[in-house]
Structure 1
């Protein structure tokens, strides 16, 4: 018995977890579905997105597609959540290092510029936004994302201006971020020159509020 116990103790604590082949295939199929949907949205728009076409181009049956996504809205939601997660990561990374006024201004301005460039380079984002406007559940997702991003901005402002009215700062930050999303949509619907001008105009307007928070 002692020998057996010793042998057990000498064995590695755990072996590398092997991924279930079925799970791996399922993930790969889901990624293929989302890639096809993104391509179709970019070329045709979210309004023209059809489940039957997604299934055909993904080389799966319509029944299999419904096992992954019950409707078009669920696909748009998944894509929006992925974009939101990446956006939130960028915002958090840029703002968490802010310690003073110049740093706050530079970080915020850089985020707006980066976001505009990403939107320009990702045509599907505009049509995903469009698809979200027609679904109240997706609109709620967008609103919540503005709250989260606004809170990250408010935290940075309050670090720089700790004597500010926290409630007013959070309200302003939430509003600024939500209006920023609307500005981006408007900007990409205009010519590149006009769109850039609109982004710069919003940057100037919002920075006046950000850099002069209300004092208690």
Structure 2
């Protein structure tokens, strides 16, 4: 484990500047000013932001990256996390649809910037077979998330975005990432990733509900 950890640290140090540069090529107005910390997270996270003393920091957990990602290409993962640092809908609350949009769009953007990335590199294979298992129940999964779009119940959020339990009904855990990706992919038929990133809260809500309805209609 230690050797894998050391390799991950070395690779991170070597590759992160290039990932930031390629992200800024797609989103030139990204300021890249958030402090980046690469550390042992004691099993908490592979990547994300945390706020300390009113200042946002990018935290990457080498230990969880090794455990979940292995030694695969991290470009899509870094672009996913950088997009979260860049993207802001301006929504004042966080019902399910906001996370569906944010996580789905981050996954879609990372795929557009890394067209050869596989499901594992897009973090769509955690838990294993996430995409295949969700597709087996796609109609029910789409209907389920549609019914929860405006929910702020943490149990609804957990079933969609946490990796432990998909909630009542036996649907796959963490399926919200893939469903959100499908929503973003549908919206991407008409808008560029740059246009999608700039949608404000109201416009994003309209786009998400319309795209989700089209996806549901295709399953009938």
Asked if TM exceeds 0.5, the reply is no
Q: Name the structure where helix makes up a greater proportion of residues.
A: 1
TM-score range, shorter chain: 0.3 to 0.5
TM-score normalised to the size of structure 1? Answer: 0.35
| TM-score calculated relative to the size of structure 2 | 0.35
**Which structure has the larger Rg over C-alpha atoms?**
1
